[in-house]
């Protein structure tokens, strides 16, 4: 079994060997810039790990691994426009550094290059199935993004709606990466489906954890401003859980806070909303929900018909991601 | 051989049988709206004709035919944003009727659905090659759009640059549609390549003709405002030819006109620029260039190893498109 650094170095090498075309530079330099902004290459790593569970060499999975990374970066480039975000990881977003046209068109071509890599997979017999999995997931991601956009102006979002949105917007891509990798490695469709479900459910657990960390994370370890979701009046898992379980007075108080804008004292707002979450036991309820998804996820990993040694690298990675301190 | 109406009715039926998902409606209604804006379904028609040259039934080509139409509409939706165009065919563009987010995201999902249709082609053995042709063409279209954007601010665009831009932006998709259709019908790669070149070269001829009609078309028959390109200071084939062949004084006069904005008397501007074209014999030179591409195109159709009766429907369609009155 190859470990994470070994897998990441292979994906890095593949990407270096298959650069974007040189021209037109106005189209491709923003693509390279976006990819250099970093990111952990989590999705290709998952894809290669799933392949490596079934095969010692992971060459067959490299094009698909890079395709999911390109797809992910395409979604970030377009989402940044929709969110009017000036910065990503402290650097200018593409549409800010260049312009709207570049943000749209470089994103478009990055998506098409993702398909180009996918279609270069050998053996060719893998291509139709990989494309089908990829399409299903990619359509889900767009639908999830649309739901997220809709939620901003909807006042009747339920916890169930929210879970479905994060499932589509972020979790299915993690599941799809594992499913594609497994099929590249020769896994049965049953095993591949278990790995898809593992990634999907773990992805929902990650997202719930992210919501929790945004409000309760250690400012030293959390990459973003703690309390950012509260300041932006985001309808997170914490908010929606509160609207489910809190007494009417607290629900009303939370709604009032969420109608305040940037003129409000941010420190006081974060403090007040956090106190409101605390007195309703929200952190524990959210932890419990995360735990349920996490447990359901690992049941699918357990069901994969391989000896435990073959699963350990993947299990370890996902466990580490799900026990971030807060 | 099936005629154009027969082929169009089958593509219409296929599209009706394979609608977009119902939810989220905010994502898919704009896709349906865009497709209902019309268009002649030229690209799917070409694809089906190419298939039908080799096969009496065209079922294998229907998914690819609809995929190229979805792709074309995806490019229109995003190009309308980049051009800040409020109207298309007299109706509001998607980003105007809805908003920027919708224009981007509905376009994205339409592109992915194009791949979904492609990947559903049977026999499955066709899928990898169809996807490869499609990717090559789609990347070309994005690169062509970028070149078009670049040309707006470049002052050193040559006629050669321009032809390369229209080749990528519009002609390769016509060629690719024919190539894909031919392969669906079982054509040899040699025949498919000849059909690709036929479509590509005819596509360049169409675009040159379009430039000519924009300035010299019959206002009764031409769908858009005659002289629109002149008013928008577009670097068309006519302008670039003038910069190649006209005496320095006329080149200077044209450049001066092209630096005037919407405050200028439009009727006088169109009249003056047209007079300038006329006295340099530009219409005849442009006609000659169109004729050269057209002739080169039909040489490739002639080289296709089929009896003439099998080629007649396609030949007739393209001939009709290339003799529009002006």
pLDDT at A39: 85
How far is A272 from B232, CA to CA, in rounded Å?
Answer: 56
| Cβ contact, residue pair B112, A119, below 8 Å | no
Q: Is A209 helix (H, G, I), strand (E, B) or coil?
A: helix
CB of B19 within 8 Å of a chain A CB? The answer is no
| Cβ contact, residue pair A112, B135, below 8 Å | yes
The total of other beta-carbon atoms located within 10 Å of residue A298's CB is: 18
Quick one: average pLDDT of B289-297? 97
Contacts of B80 in chain A (CB under 8 A): none
- CA–CA min distance B207, chain A (Å): 21
**B85-108 burial, b if ≥16 CB within 10 A, otherwise e?**
eeebeeeebbbbebebbbbbbbbb
Q: What is the pLDDT of residues B49-72, one digit of tens each?
A: 999 999 999 999 999 999 999 999
**Are the C-beta atoms of residues A73 and A80 closer than 8 Å to each other?**
no
CB of A101 within 8 Å of a chain B CB? The answer is yes
Q: Is A228 helix (H, G, I), strand (E, B) or coil?
A: helix
Q: What is the pLDDT of residues B247-262, one digit of tens each?
A: 999 999 999 999 999 9
The total of other beta-carbon atoms located within 10 Å of residue B245's CB is: 13
Quick one: average pLDDT of B175-199? 98
pLDDT at A38: 76
Q: CA torsion sign, B213 to B215 to B220 to B222? A: positive
Partner A, chain B 49-88, Cβ-Cβ below 8 Å: 78, 81-82
By Cβ distance, the residue of B78, B112, B150 closest to A142 is: B112
Arithmetic mean of pLDDT over chain B: 95
For chain A, the first-to-last Cα distance in angstroms comes to 31
**Of B81, B135, B169, which to mutate for an interface test with A (greatest number of A Cβ within 10 Å)?**
B135
How far is B232 from B258, CA to CA, in rounded Å?
Answer: 8
| Cβ contact, residue pair A145, B111, below 8 Å | no
Quick one: average pLDDT of B2-25? 96
CB of A153 within 8 Å of a chain B CB? The answer is no
Closest CA to B206 of B312, B79, B298, B318: B318
The CATH number of domain B1-122, selected from 1.10.600.10, 1.20.1260.10, 3.30.70.2740, 3.60.10.10: 1.10.600.10
pLDDT at B325 over 70: no
pLDDT at B115 over 90: yes
- CA–CA min distance B181, chain A (Å): 18
| Cβ contact, residue pair A150, B26, below 8 Å | yes
| Cβ contact, residue pair A108, B78, below 8 Å | yes
Quick one: average pLDDT of B156-179? 97
CB of A135 within 8 Å of a chain B CB? The answer is yes
pLDDT at B83 over 60: yes
Residue B154 host element (H or E): none
How far is A66 from A113, CA to CA, in rounded Å?
Answer: 10
pLDDT at B229: 94
The total of other beta-carbon atoms located within 10 Å of residue A5's CB is: 9
In this predicted complex, what is the ipTM? 0.95
pLDDT at B324 over 70: no
Closest CA to B51 of B168, B191, B261, B208: B191
pLDDT at A126: 96
pLDDT at B170: 96
The total of other beta-carbon atoms located within 10 Å of residue B196's CB is: 26
Q: State the CATH class of domain A188-326.
A: mainly alpha
Question: Is the model more confident about B39 or about B260?
Answer: B260
**Are the C-beta atoms of residues B178 and B46 closer than 8 Å to each other?**
yes
How far is A179 from B253, CA to CA, in rounded Å?
Answer: 63
Secondary structure E strands in chain B: 87-88, 91-92
**Of A118, A119, A122, A148, which to mutate for an interface test with B (greatest number of B Cβ within 10 Å)?**
A119
How far is A7 from A43, CA to CA, in rounded Å?
Answer: 12
User: Block means of pLDDT (10 residues each) for chain A, length 326 residues?
Assistant: 95 96 97 92 98 97 98 98 93 96 98 98 96 98 97 94 98 98 98 98 97 91 83 96 97 96 94 97 97 98 97 96 70
Secondary structure E strands in chain A: 87-88, 91-92
pTM of this prediction? 0.96
Q: Is B122 helix (H, G, I), strand (E, B) or coil?
A: coil
- CA–CA min distance B44, chain A (Å): 20
Q: How far is CA B256 from CA A133, B218, B252, B274, in A?
A: 55, 27, 6, 14
**Are the C-beta atoms of residues B56 and B8 closer than 8 Å to each other?**
no
Find the closest chain A residue to B102 by CA distance: A146
| Cβ contact, residue pair A135, B124, below 8 Å | no
- CA–CA min distance A11, chain B (Å): 22
**A92-130 burial, b if ≥16 CB within 10 A, otherwise e?**
ebbbbebebbbbbbbbbbbbbbbbbbbbbbeeeebbbbb
List the domain boundaries for chain A.
188-326
Token digits of residue B228: 């629109």
How far is A257 from A236, CA to CA, in rounded Å?
Answer: 14
């Amino acid at each position: 079994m190859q470990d994470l650094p070994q897998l990441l170095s292979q994906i890095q090498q593949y990407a270096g060997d298959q650069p974007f075309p040189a021209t037109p530079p106005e189209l491709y330099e923003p693509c390279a810039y976006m990819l250099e902004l970093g990111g952990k290459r989590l999705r290709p790593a998952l894809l290669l790990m799933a392949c490596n569970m079934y095969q010692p060499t992971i060459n067959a999975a490299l094009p698909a691994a890079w395709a999911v990374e390109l797809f992910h970066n395409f979604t970030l480039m377009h989402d940044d426009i929709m969110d009017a975000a000036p910065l990503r990881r402290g650097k200018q977003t593409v549409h800010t550094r260049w312009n709207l046209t570049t943000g749209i068109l470089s994103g478009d071509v990055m998506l098409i290059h993702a398909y180009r890599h996918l279609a270069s997979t050998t053996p060719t017999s893998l291509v139709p199935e990989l494309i089908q999995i990829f399409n299903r997931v990619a359509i889900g991601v767009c639908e999830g993004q649309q739901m997220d956009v809709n939620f901003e102006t909807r006042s009747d979002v339920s916890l169930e709606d929210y879970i479905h949105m994060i499932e589509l917007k972020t979790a299915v891509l993690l599941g799809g990466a594992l499913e594609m990798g497994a099929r590249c490695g020769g896994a049965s469709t049953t095993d591949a489906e278990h790995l898809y479900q593992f990634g999907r459910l773990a992805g929902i657990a990650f997202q719930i954890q992210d919501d929790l960390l945004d409000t309760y994370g250690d400012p030293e370890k959390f990459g973003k401003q703690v309390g950012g979701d509260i300041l932006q009046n985001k309808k997170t898992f914490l908010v929606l859980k509160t609207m489910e379980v809190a007494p009417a007075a607290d629900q009303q108080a939370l709604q009032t806070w969420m109608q305040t804008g940037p003129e409000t004292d941010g420190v006081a707002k974060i403090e007040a909303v956090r106190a409101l979450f605390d007195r309703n036991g929200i952190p524990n309820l959210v932890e419990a929900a995360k735990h349920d998804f996490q447990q359901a996820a690992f049941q699918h990993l357990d069901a994969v018909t391989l000896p435990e040694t073959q699963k350990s690298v993947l299990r370890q990675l996902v466990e580490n991601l799900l026990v971030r301190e807060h």
